[in-house]
Every structure is written in structure tokens, then in C-alpha cells.
């Protein structure tokens, strides 16, 4: 342990959060602090963890640990915060807090996207003809507003990446020479949006990019802690410091009189040559994906040697051996010749014992994999008190497993959430937009008519019966392209044709006057419900805010229940998320306009990145986590899924703007 910095590690075989809580209570983390039963003793403790989920779990662990110590009394828990979430008002009461107070407020992701989109479209219009003439092949540029939104999102992602890493935009101009210089000039002209136009807008509006604001806030917190060290312990646990600003905060905490850093699973068994190959500056891209790379870089930033990091717990021998074997398998290529020496240190019986409770399943298909995982998770929690989790980087597999679990009546706690576009209310809006602006598809039209949230202010059963009758009369057997706006007229025309025909279908005679009137009434209400949006059909220049307001009116007309309520439409987290998105689109100050018929694609592009996270405080026995969420959690049965090359580890994605060599040239890490 270094004399100036306190850095600890919890090995992979030990439960991270319970070990952390027990070490703090027992006085093994911060000198002079030990929980002695005083209910106020923990009130001065501050603990930073990587995620909100980890913060909630740690609170529960402290409750259990305090209860296990007995006493029967109550105690104030430590302040547990996710890294990156700090109280800006806290610095307002300090005399040297001007840096924190002067932070420009961050622009919301939706507003930034809407403001970047016109800049992307303007670049398309300004693209000089002589630049296009330089190349024999066609230059791909945004062809529609939706394409511009997708490209603007990639541009925003690049801005966040560069600002997160703290590199300099000025390095862009000197990156490429030679044969690629012409193409690079086209890209450089496009990136002028973020090097010239966007900074001017931020300065004029006194706003900041989210990544820049987060970095400034983290650095302001580090400065605050150094200026005025808290009286109680300050602990950062579970972070690898992958964001440079976070690494600076961790280094500051490690140097506090009552500070401590607790790392997740630093490999202290790996030989020094291999560890140095991982930590060496300018390492190969493959090394950057090594599990120990982030930790090696972090302890170098803090200024401690690996040998100075103390393990505050020892995992079970079987699990420790398993971790050592995995570490050997992931040894960097520079030292793989040591396999011949280290192999002798692992007898076959020890290897068999280390993996005795590990099962490998090679599924024949994605569905088989999902079913097998769902069955394994369900069986694992059949005994009371047992918990199980799936860890995967494959979101498609996670959704498949969630669906399979629902067949058993189990709703998994999925940390990745559900795409907002796939939720009931959002799908109702999507179907309405497609039916209005892309007429002619009877399947999509029928999907809207039979949507479970379609109420039209009537009884749900009446709407459903009307949809079935409209399907029989107007949408089956025809060769035309049905339009939802003229659907009432089509229904009447087909009804008259069937009535006057010489050979009506067998079911026609069973129709009642009441059922026909019910269908007519429902179609008329449907037409009225769609009227706010129908007015934009064919418009060459429709304003985004006006389209959103019309979409909200139409959506609420469609989803209104018989008692006039909208509770079912906006129910739950999904309904709240959709309402939040629509409010943000209306409130955005971006003057964006486009052809009305583009609205379905534009809405799809705007909603694509939105997800609905599960509600806080869920207490379920089966969870689905990503790698970050799983790092600090403990369960009885753990399933790792999606271990396919290109999925996990994920295939490095090519950047729309810069090659791997270009990224290295401006001090960005490669995709690995």
C-alpha cells in the first residue's frame, strides 16, 4: 500500500458489494474509521460507485450488513452516489467555487440532435461542385431529413468521444496527406460543423455539450474535495476510470486523508512482464481490449504500483484458481511463450475442480440459446432466496430471453431496458404515421385498427368488433390501395357492392344493423382522430413543432378510453418516456422543417436511440445485465450468453468520419 494513496482491490471470486460494506464497517479501508454501533457514524461517509443500479444495491447491502451485526437499532446510511452525478449547488457555498458555479448548462441530447440536423442539411447544400468533381464515384451525402438526423447523431457521438478523451479538435487538420487528402478534405469540411459552427452556437447560447459538462463537473468535484477535504471517509468503488476526468477524480480521492479507492478484480497473479505489456504506452489495439487494461492505466494515473494495491478479501480457492486460469488464457501475445512454463503449475485435477460447476452449452441456433438460458434461469430460482442473472452484450439475445421467460410468467429485470419504439404507445403512433403518410398497405392499416390501445373514446370491445368487420368488408379481397383517410368511403362502397352482388359471401347475411353502424361510427371517429395530422399530408414545408403537436393530438384521440381518460396510453415507464420525448421535441428551439411525408422516417430516427429502463426499486430474482452492470453484482447462478465472435467481444465498428489510424493520430483509442 502506497504511503500517500490508499488503493485496494476485491478479487473476482469475492462478492464485491458485501465485501466493500464489511471492510468499511470493520475499519479496514480508512484509518481511524470503524463502525461502533453509533447510528450517526456512517452519515459522514461518501461512497461513489459506477452506476445507479450499483448504488441501489449497495444501500441494500448496508441494510443487510447492519442487521446482521445485531443491535436492533437504526442507523443513517452513507451517502452513495453514482460517479458523474454531483450536486452543483454544493459548491455554491464555497468561497473558491467560481469554476463550478460558472459551468454552462448542458444541452439536452434531443435538442442537440435537432440543432445539428439543419447544419448537416446546410452542409449538403453548400458542398462545392468542384469538390464533387474531383472523384469519379458518387459522394454519399444525406438524402433526406431522416438521413441527416442519423448523421447528426453520429456527429454528436464523435463530439462526445473527443471531449471525453480531452483531445484537441485542431489536430484534425493535419491528419492525412497523400492519396487520401482529397477525400479527407470532404470529411474535414463536414466536420467544420463541430469545429466552427457548433462552438459558436454554444458560446452564443451559453450552453455546453453533455460530455464537456460532465467532465467539467467531475473535475470541479475533484477540486472541491482537494480544497476542502470532507471530515468523513470518501470511497470510490468499482470504477476502472475509463473516462480521463473520472480517473482524475479517483486520483484525488485516493490522496484524501480519509480517501480510498477499491478496484474491481485487479489481477495480482499475472507476471510483471505481461502486466507491463498491457500497461505500456502505445500498446497494440488488441491489448487495449484486455480486461486489465483499464485498471493498469488507472493505477498508473493514481501513481501506485500493482504490488502496493492490497486485496481486502480472499475469494474461495476454487474461484481464485478459476480466475487465474482465465487470466492465463487472456495473457497478452507478447508473453504467450510463458504458457509452456505456467501450464505445469495447473494440474489437471485442479483445472477440473476449478470448472466443476461451470457448464458449456453450444446452441444450434439463436432461439435454442435463448430457450436454454431462460430454462436455466427459471430452474435456478425455483428454491426460495436464490437469484440468477444473464450477462450478455447481445441486446437481441437479451430480448429473446426476456420473451422466453415471459412464457414462464417471469418478468426479468433487464438493465438494458426496452427500445421505446417497441412499446405499445409508441407503436400506436408509428402505425398511425405509416397509415397516414404511406397509404396503401392493408396489413399496416389493420394493425392500427386492431391495436390494443386504440380506443377512440369508445368501448374497447366495440372498436375491436368494428375492426374485424372493416377487415371483412373493406380490406379483404380487393386489389386497390386502401387509404385510411378515405376508409369510411371505401367501406360504404364495398358494403354496397356486396349487398348488390349476385353471390355475396356466406358471412354477409349474418351482419346486423348494429354491427354495421358500430363500424361506421368507429371509422368516422378514426377519421376525426387523424384529422390534426392528415392536414400535413402533401405539405412541402412542415414545421417540426407543429407536426409534433398534431401527432400528440392524434395519438391522444386514438388512445382515449370510453371515459375520456388517457391513463392507459401513458401508463407505466414506457408511457412516461414517450410523453417526455414528445414534450422535448415540442420545447426544442431548433427551427427544423421538412416535407410532411418525411415525418414517419424522421420520427423513427428521433425515437431510435430512446430506451425505457426498468423502474427503480425492482426486486426480482432474475436479472439481465450488461458487462458494466454485472461488474459489482452477486448472484447464485450466472449465465454468460452471446459469446460469439463479432458479438462478444464485439466486432470493432468502423467510424463514419475517421479511420483507425486517424483516431490514433488525434489521441483517440481504437474501437477495441
CA distance 551 to 557: 10
133: pLDDT confidence band, cut at 50, 70 and 90? low
Q: What is the CATH number of the domain that holds 370?
A: 3.40.50.300
Q: Which residues of 9-20 are buried (b: 16+ CB within 10 A; e: fewer)?
A: bbbbbbbbbbbb
- Judge if 187 and 251 occupy the same domain: no
State the DSSP string of 159-195.
Answer: HHHHHHHT--GGGGGGS--GGGHHHHHHHHHHHHIII
**337-347 pLDDT tens trace:** 888 888 888 88
CA distance 326 to 313: 19
- Judge if 248 and 266 occupy the same domain: yes
130: pLDDT confidence band, cut at 50, 70 and 90? very low
- Judge if 61 and 128 occupy the same domain: no
| Final residue of a structural domain among 157, 172, 207 | 207
Number of domains the chain is built from = 4
Residue 145 reports pLDDT greater than 60? yes
> Stretch 573-585: mean pLDDT, rounded?
93
What would the grid cell of residue 114 be? 435537432
- Judge if 515 and 407 occupy the same domain: no
Q: What is the CATH number of the domain that holds 288?
A: 3.40.50
**614-638 pLDDT tens trace:** 765 455 799 999 888 898 999 999 9
- Judge if 540 and 569 occupy the same domain: yes
CA distance 229 to 253: 9
- Judge if 583 and 631 occupy the same domain: no
**453, 568 in Cβ contact below 8 A?**
yes
Cis peptide before 70 (omega within 30 of 0): no
- Judge if 495 and 451 occupy the same domain: yes
- 569 in any annotated domain: yes
**372-399 pLDDT tens trace:** 999 999 999 999 989 999 999 899 999 9
Domain that residue 195 falls in: 109-207
- 598 in any annotated domain: no
**205-224 pLDDT tens trace:** 999 999 999 999 999 999 99
Q: How many residues does the chain have?
A: 672
- 361 in any annotated domain: no
- Judge if 197 and 217 occupy the same domain: no
**Taking the alpha carbons of 146, 151, 155, 158 in that order, is the dihedral positive or negative?**
positive
The share of the chain scoring above pLDDT 70, in percent, equals: 91
Residue 132 reports pLDDT greater than 70? no
- 33 in any annotated domain: yes
**187, 149 in Cβ contact below 8 A?**
no
Q: Which of 19-33, 499-513, 607-621 has the lowest mean pLDDT?
A: 607-621
2: pLDDT confidence band, cut at 50, 70 and 90? very low
| Final residue of a structural domain among 190, 207, 224 | 207
**291-336 pLDDT tens trace:** 899 999 999 999 999 999 999 988 788 998 999 999 998 898 888 8
CA distance 273 to 592: 57
**561-570 pLDDT tens trace:** 999 999 999 9
CA distance 629 to 545: 37
- Judge if 27 and 44 occupy the same domain: yes
448: number of Cβ within 10 Å = 22
Which pLDDT score, from 0 to 100, does residue 614 have?
73
CA distance 445 to 448: 5
CA distance 417 to 240: 24
- 661 in any annotated domain: no
> Stretch 155-164: mean pLDDT, rounded?
91
CA distance 248 to 236: 12
- 176 in any annotated domain: yes
**351-368 pLDDT tens trace:** 999 999 899 999 999 999
Residue 459 reports pLDDT greater than 60? yes
**462-497 pLDDT tens trace:** 999 999 999 999 888 766 789 999 999 999 998 988
User: 3-class SS at 259?
Assistant: strand
> Stretch 577-592: mean pLDDT, rounded?
89
Which pLDDT score, from 0 to 100, does residue 589 have?
74
| Final residue of a structural domain among 207, 223, 257 | 207
Which pLDDT score, from 0 to 100, does residue 218 have?
93
- Judge if 309 and 227 occupy the same domain: yes
Which pLDDT score, from 0 to 100, does residue 124 have?
76
Residue 93 reports pLDDT greater than 80? no
Which pLDDT score, from 0 to 100, does residue 518 have?
95
CA distance 376 to 370: 10
- 263 in any annotated domain: yes
- Judge if 239 and 196 occupy the same domain: no
Our separate counts of H helices and E strands in the chain read 28, 14
Residue bearing the bigger pLDDT, 84 or 265? 265
- 551 in any annotated domain: yes
Residue bearing the bigger pLDDT, 442 or 620? 442
CA distance 317 to 486: 73
- Judge if 93 and 115 occupy the same domain: no
What would the grid cell of residue 301 be? 494515473
Amino acid at each position: 500500500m502506497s504511503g500517500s494513496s490508499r488503493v485496494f482491490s476485491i478479487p473476482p471470486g469475492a462478492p464485491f458489494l458485501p465485501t466493500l460494506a464489511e471492510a468499511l464497517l470493520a475499519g479496514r479501508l480508512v484509518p481511524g474509521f470503524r463502525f461502533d454501533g453509533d447510528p450517526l457514524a456512517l452519515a459522514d461517509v461518501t461512497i461513489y460507485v459506477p452506476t445507479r443500479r450499483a448504488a441501489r444495491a449497495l444501500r441494500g447491502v448496508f441494510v443487510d450488513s447492519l442487521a446482521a451485526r445485531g443491535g436492533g437499532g437504526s442507523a443513517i446510511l452513507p451517502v452513495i452516489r453514482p460517479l458523474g452525478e454531483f450536486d452543483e449547488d454544493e459548491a455554491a457555498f464555497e468561497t473558491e467555487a467560481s469554476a463550478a458555479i460558472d459551468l454552462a448548462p448542458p444541452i439536452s441530447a434531443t435538442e442537440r440532435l435537432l440543432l445539428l440536423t439543419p447544419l448537416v442539411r446546410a452542409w449538403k447544400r453548400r458542398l462545392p461542385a468542384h469538390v464533387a468533381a474531383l472523384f469519379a464515384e458518387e459522394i454519399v451525402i444525406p438524402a433526406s431529413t431522416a438521413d441527416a438526423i442519423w448523421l447528426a447523431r453520429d456527429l454528436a457521438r464523435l463530439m462526445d468521444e473527443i471531449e471525453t478523451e480531452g483531445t484537441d479538435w485542431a489536430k484534425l487538420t493535419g491528419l492525412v496527406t497523400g492519396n487520401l487528402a482529397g477525400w479527407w478534405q470532404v470529411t474535414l469540411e463536414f466536420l467544420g460543423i463541430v469545429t466552427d459552427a457548433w462552438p459558436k452556437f454554444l458560446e452564443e447560447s451559453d450552453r455546453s455539450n453533455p460530455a464537456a459538462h460532465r467532465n467539467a463537473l467531475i473535475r470541479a468535484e475533484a477540486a472541491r474535495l482537494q480544497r476542502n477535504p470532507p471530515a468523513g471517509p470518501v470511497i470510490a468503488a468499482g470504477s476502472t476510470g475509463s473516462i480521463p476526468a473520472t480517473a482524475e477524480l479517483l486520483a484525488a480521492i485516493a490522496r484524501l486523508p480519509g480517501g480510498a479507492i477499491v478496484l474491481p478484480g485487479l489481477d495480482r497473479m499475472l507476471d510483471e512482464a505481461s502486466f507491463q505489456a498491457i500497461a505500456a504506452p502505445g500498446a497494440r489495439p488488441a491489448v487495449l481490449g484486455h480486461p486489465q487494461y483499464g485498471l493498469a492505466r488507472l493505477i498508473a494515473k493514481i501513481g501506485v504500483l500493482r504490488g502496493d494495491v492490497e486485496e481486502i478479501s480472499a475469494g474461495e480457492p476454487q474461484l481464485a484458481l478459476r480466475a487465474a486460469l482465465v487470466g492465463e488464457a487472456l495473457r497478452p501475445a507478447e508473453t504467450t511463450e510463458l504458457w509452456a512454463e505456467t501450464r505445469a503449475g495447473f494440474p489437471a485435477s485442479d483445472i477440473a475442480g476449478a470448472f466443476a460447476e461451470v457448464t458449456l452449452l453450444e446452441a444450434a441456433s439463436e432461439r435454442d440459446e435463448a430457450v436454454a438460458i431462460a430454462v436455466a434461469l427459471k430452474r435456478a430460482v425455483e428454491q426460495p432466496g436464490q437469484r440468477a442473472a444473464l450477462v450478455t452484450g447481445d441486446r437481441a439475445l437479451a430480448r429473446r430471453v426476456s420473451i422466453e421467460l415471459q412464457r414462464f410468467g417471469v418478468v426479468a429485470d433487464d438493465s438494458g431496458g426496452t427500445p421505446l419504439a417497441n412499446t405499445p404507445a409508441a407503436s400506436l403512433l408509428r402505425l398511425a404515421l405509416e397509415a397516414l403518410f404511406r397509404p396503401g398497405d392493408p396489413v399496416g392499416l389493420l394493425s392500427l385498427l386492431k391495436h390494443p390501445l386504440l380506443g377512440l373514446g369508445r368501448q374497447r370491445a366495440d372498436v375491436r368488433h368494428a375492426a374485424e368487420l372493416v377487415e371483412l368488408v373493406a380490406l379483404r379481397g380487393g386489389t386497390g390501395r386502401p387509404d385510411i383517410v378515405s376508409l369510411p368511403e371505401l367501406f360504404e362502397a364495398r358494403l354496397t357492392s356486396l349487398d348488390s352482388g349476385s353471390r355475396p359471401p356466406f358471412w354477409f347475411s349474418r351482419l346486423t344493423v348494429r354491427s354495421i353502424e358500430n363500424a361506421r361510427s368507429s371509422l368516422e371517429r378514426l377519421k376525426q382522430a387523424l384529422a390534426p395530422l392528415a392536414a400535413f399530408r402533401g405539405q412541402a414545408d412542415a414545421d417540426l413543432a407543429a407536426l409534433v403537436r398534431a401527432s400528440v393530438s392524434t395519438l391522444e384521440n386514438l388512445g382515449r378510453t370510453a371515459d375520456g381518460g388517457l391513463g392507459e396510453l401513458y401508463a407505466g415507464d414506457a408511457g412516461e418516456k414517450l410523453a417526455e420525448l414528445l414534450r422535448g421535441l415540442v420545447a426544442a428551439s431548433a427551427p427544423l422543417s421538412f416535407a410532411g411525408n418525411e415525418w414517419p422516417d424522421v420520427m423513427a430516427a428521433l425515437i431510435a436511440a430512446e430506451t425505457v429502463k426498468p423502474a427503480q426499486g425492482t426486486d426480482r430474482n432474475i436479472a439481465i445485465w450488461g458487462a458494466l452492470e454485472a461488474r459489482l453484482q452477486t448472484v447464485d447462478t450466472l449465465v454468460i450468453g452471446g459469446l460469439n465472435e463479432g458479438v462478444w467481444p464485439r466486432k470493432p465498428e468502423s467510424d463514419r468520419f475517421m479511420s483507425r489510424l486517424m483516431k490514433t493520430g488525434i489521441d483517440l483509442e481504437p474501437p477495441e
